[in-house]
Structure 1
Amino acid sequence: MLRNFTILILVSVTIMISCFSNESKYVAIKVRGSDSEVNLVQAIAESFMDQDSLVSVGVTGGGSGAGIAALINGKTDLANSSREITDEELFYARQRGVEPYAIIFAQDALAIVVNENNGVDSLTLNQLSDIYRGAVKNWKELGGNDQKITLYGRQSSSGTYIYFRENIVKNEYDLSMIGMSGTAQIVDAIKDDKNGIGYVSSGYINEKVMERLKVISIKKDAHSVAYSPLDKEKIISGVYPITRPLIQYTNKKPQGKLLEFVLYQFSEVGTSIIQESGFYPVDTRLITAKLRNNES
C-alpha cells in the first residue's frame, strides 16, 4: 500500500514538473502601434498562434507614435509604424538603452475618399496639398459644387498623419482639419458629410466600407494620368503616386519567438494574408537573410 502511494506521488510530481516546464516555455508577445496595420497584423498573429500553442500575440492600435513610445518605455515587444522613427524618438530610445531595429514587412497605398455625391473624380498631388494646407477651401475651385471643403485627417500621434503632412501637404495642416482617432471615424464622418475629404489606408477599403463613398483618382501632376488605388496593378507597378512602406520596430534584432513571428509574416501564409488584407508584399529576400544571420 505504501509502495503504491509512493509511486502515485512520484507520478504526480512528474506531471507537475512537466506542466511547469511547458508553462516556462510559453511566450507572450506584445504588439502595439499603427491603426493602419492593426487589423493586418492581428490576422497574421491569429494564424501564427494557430501554428504554435505556446505563444500568445496581443495586438493593439493607438497610432504609430504610441507604438514607438511603448517600445521606448519597454511596454511592447514590437511597434507597428506607418512612418519612420524620428530623430527625437531615437534620441530618447538610446537614452533608455533601446536600439530600435526597423523591419519593412509590407507596402501600403493611401486612398483619398470623398462622399459619393461629390462631383470631383480626380486630383493632382498639388491640389491635395492646397486642400489640406487651406489654400483651396471650396470644391468649386476644383470643378465641384460651390460648397466649403470639410477636412478630415488623423490625430497627431498617427504615422499616417505625419506621412501625409510631410510627403503630400509639405506644410502644416489647415487649422480647420478635424483630427479623428482612427480610419473608421474618418470614413463614417465622410459618409454623412457631402463636402468631406479624408485619407485612409487602401488596405481598409472594401465593398462594405465603400458604401456612400468615392475613391478619388490621383495624378502626379496636371499633365499626368490619374490612377486609382483600387487598381492594385497600378500600386504594384509604382505608378500610383501615394505609397509608403509599413514598418515594424523591435529593440535590437528580434530573437526567439519574436523572430519566428516576424519571419512568419514573410512566409507564404503571411504573404497571402497581406494581400488578402488589401496590402502589398515586399521583396523579403535581403530582409530575411539579415534577420537569420548575425548581420546588423
Structure 2
Amino acid sequence: MRKWMINFMQLLFGSAAIFLSSCSQNTNSIKMKGSDTEVNLAVNLAERFTKLDPNFSIAISGGGSGLGITSLMNGHADIANSSRPLSEEEVEQFKALNIELKTIVFAEDATAFVVHKDLPISEISVDTLAKILSGEINNWSALLDIDLPINIYGRQSSSGTHSFIKKKLKIEFTSAAKEMTGNAQIIEGVKADKTGIGYVGAGYVAHDPNSNQKVKILKIREHSGEKAQSPLDPEAINNSLYYFQRPLYQFVLASSWEKVRPFINFERGAIGRKLIEEHGYYTLENQQHEI
C-alpha cells in the first residue's frame, strides 16, 4: 500500500511539473511594458493583431522606458517599448545578467511642446526652450508682453522622453518642473494652466483631436532666421528638419524572439504600418519586410 501511494504521488507531481512547464513556456502570451509615448499605439496594434489571431494574448502597460527595460532584466516582460536607446550602464547590466536582446526601430516620433491655447505664442527657439526648462527664464515677460510665471509640465527621470529632451538641449531640468506620470497628465495640466508649457509625444497629441482644441503645439526654430518647424508636418520629419525627432525602439528578449516574431511582422506589415501612421508617427522604409 505504501509503495502504491509513493508511486501515485510521484505520478501526480510529475504531471503537475509537466503542466507548470507547459504554462511557463506558453508561446502565445506576450508581455510588453515601457514607454508612455508608445503605449496607446502598442495597445491598438495588439488589439488588431489579436483579432486576426485570437490564439495570442498581449498584456501591455506603460510607466516609462526605464521601467520597460528594467522589466526585461527581471523577467517581467518579453518586449520593452522605449523612446530612447539603451544607456551604457544598461548595456553592461544586460551583459552581466547574460541576457541577450534584439533591437527593433519600428517608427519615428517627434516630441511636441505644448502651451495653453490662449497663450499668445506660436513658435519658440531651441535656445529659449533650453533656458525655460533649465529655469534660467522663469517668467513669460522675457518673451511676451505678459507678466506671468512659467509652469513646466515634464516627465519623471525614468521617462525616455525626459532623457531625450535633456540630452538634446544639454541641460539639467529646473527643480521647479512638475514631474508627471505620462502624456495625458501633461496635457491635462497645460489645458488647465494658462502659464504652462509641457512636452509630449507628437503622435499622442495628434491622435487626440480634443487635446488639439485645448492646447497649442509650438513650432520649433533651431537657429535664428530659420523657418520654425512643426512636429506634425510629415515633410519636415521626412527631411529631418524638426529638431526633436527620434526613433522609437522595441527591445526584445532573445529567448522570447520566436513567440513575438508574428507580432513584430504584423507591425511591419501593411496593417501595422497604417496604424502607426494613423497615430501620428512615421514609418521607416527599411522596415517593410518579415523577419
Question: Normalised by the size of structure 1, how large is the TM-score?
Answer: 0.86
Q: 1:97 to 1:240 in 2, by over 3 A?
A: same
Query: Does residue 1:51 correspond to 2:52, yes or no?
Result: yes
- In 1, are the aligned partners of 2:101 and 2:253 still within 8 Å (CA)? yes
Distance 2:133 2:102 in 1: 33
- In 2, are the aligned partners of 1:113 and 1:213 still within 8 Å (CA)? yes
Query: Does residue 1:223 correspond to 2:242, yes or no?
Result: no
- In 1, are the aligned partners of 2:269 and 2:289 still within 8 Å (CA)? no
Could you tell me which residue of structure 1 aligns to residue 191 of structure 2?
191
Query: Of 248, 270, 273, which aligns to 2:272?
Result: 270
Could you tell me which residue of structure 1 aligns to residue 9 of structure 2?
none
Could you tell me which residue of structure 2 aligns to residue 179 of structure 1?
179
Distance 2:83 2:215 in 1: 24
Deviation at 1:119, TM superposition (A): 1.2
Deviation at 1:26, TM superposition (A): 5.5
Q: Deviations for 1:158-177, whole angstroms, at most 9, x for unmatched residues? A: 11111111112x11101100
Distance 1:25 1:178 in 2: 41
Could you tell me which residue of structure 2 aligns to residue 81 of structure 1?
82
- In 2, are the aligned partners of 1:119 and 1:143 still within 8 Å (CA)? yes
- In 2, are the aligned partners of 1:30 and 1:58 still within 8 Å (CA)? yes
- In 1, are the aligned partners of 2:232 and 2:280 still within 8 Å (CA)? no
Distance 1:47 1:85 in 2: 29
Question: Normalised by the size of structure 2, how large is the TM-score?
Answer: 0.87
Q: Deviations for 1:129-180, whole angstroms, at most 9, x for unmatched residues? A: 1110111111111235221111110011111111111112x11101100000
- In 2, are the aligned partners of 1:202 and 1:229 still within 8 Å (CA)? yes
Q: 1:241 to 1:211 in 2, by over 3 A?
A: same
Could you tell me which residue of structure 2 aligns to residue 209 of structure 1?
211
Distance 1:257 1:48 in 2: 14
Distance 1:26 1:109 in 2: 34
Could you tell me which residue of structure 1 aligns to residue 65 of structure 2?
64
Query: Of 237, 240, 249, which aligns to 2:239?
Result: 237
One-letter amino acid of the counterpart of residue 204, structure 2: Y
Q: 1:25 to 1:175 in 2, by over 3 A?
A: closer
- Worse-superposed segment, 247-256 or 237-246: 247-256
Deviation at 1:25, TM superposition (A): 6.8
- In 2, are the aligned partners of 1:118 and 1:144 still within 8 Å (CA)? no
- In 2, are the aligned partners of 1:120 and 1:144 still within 8 Å (CA)? no
Deviation at 1:253, TM superposition (A): 7.7
Query: Does residue 1:130 correspond to 2:125, yes or no?
Result: no
Q: Deviations for 1:177-201, whole angstroms, at most 9, x for unmatched residues? A: 0000011111101111110000000
Could you tell me which residue of structure 2 aligns to residue 101 of structure 1?
102
- In 1, are the aligned partners of 2:82 and 2:249 still within 8 Å (CA)? yes
- In 2, are the aligned partners of 1:31 and 1:77 still within 8 Å (CA)? yes
2:120 counterpart SS class: coil
Distance 1:266 1:254 in 2: 18
1:209 counterpart SS class: helix
Deviation at 1:288, TM superposition (A): 4.4
Percent of matched pairs sharing the same residue:
36
- In 2, are the aligned partners of 1:72 and 1:98 still within 8 Å (CA)? yes
- In 1, are the aligned partners of 2:65 and 2:84 still within 8 Å (CA)? yes
- In 2, are the aligned partners of 1:84 and 1:247 still within 8 Å (CA)? yes
- In 2, are the aligned partners of 1:119 and 1:145 still within 8 Å (CA)? no
Distance 1:92 1:152 in 2: 31
Q: 1:144 to 1:233 in 2, by over 3 A?
A: farther
Could you tell me which residue of structure 2 aligns to residue 31 of structure 1?
32
Could you tell me which residue of structure 1 aligns to residue 167 of structure 2?
166
- Gaps spanning 5+ residues in structure 2: where? 1-21
Deviation at 1:264, TM superposition (A): 1.1
Could you tell me which residue of structure 1 aligns to residue 11 of structure 2?
none
Deviation at 1:126, TM superposition (A): 0.8
- In 1, are the aligned partners of 2:27 and 2:259 still within 8 Å (CA)? no
- Gaps spanning 5+ residues in structure 1: where? 1-21
Deviation at 1:44, TM superposition (A): 0.8
Provide the aligned length of Structure 1 versus Structure 2: 267
